[in-house]
Amino acid sequence: MSVAEPREIVLFRHAKADWPQVSDHERPLAERGRMDAAVAGRKLADTAVTFDLALCSTAVRTRETWKLAVHELAHRPKTHYEERVYEASPGELIAVLNEIPDDVRNAILIGHNPGIHGLAEVLAGGSEGDARERMNRRGFPAAGFAVLTFDGTWKSLEPGVATLTDYWAPSE
């Protein structure tokens, strides 16, 4: 792949989690979360982005969200479960994304708030338009996702270099 071709990164927040008496890392999805994860998968399929790689937090709720969402995609990407995504700040998430090999064109990151929302804000910089307006109005609810494009290598991904091109939340 040429580094001149635009790349796409989808930032996907896990679906609604339940609150049983387990550690935060072990929290499963709630019933509504399981339904929303499948719907989000269908909406991801509608974006027509073909993912070469999925980076998913090791938390139970993110793994369950991804398992339900990826089932809706025509192409299942290689999935890497990355413990550094759990409770990561936007800067820590950028560091993880900077490690993606350059032969990967499009990737999806399945993680948690506030990191995922913060990362979308930081990467999108001055992006304007309908997707940005909807994200500003809605925030980044459970099972929501943002699609961003950027030029260059994964190592060059940094604040302000991406454009927010799409945004979806379960209530839309």
- For 111-131, b/e burial (b = at least 16 CB within 10 A) is bbeebbbbbbbbbbeebeeeb
CA neighbours closer than 13 Å in the CB half-sphere of residue 93: 31
Q: Binding site residues for substrate, as ranges?
A: 61
CA 48 to each of CA 45, 81, 100, 122: distance values in angstroms, whole numbers, following the listed order = 6, 23, 21, 24
- Cα separation, 17 vs 28, in Å, equals 6
Torsion on CA atoms 156, 90, 32, 19, rounded to nearest 10 = 150
- Alpha helix (H) ranges present in the chain? 31-46, 60-70, 90-97, 115-124, 130-138
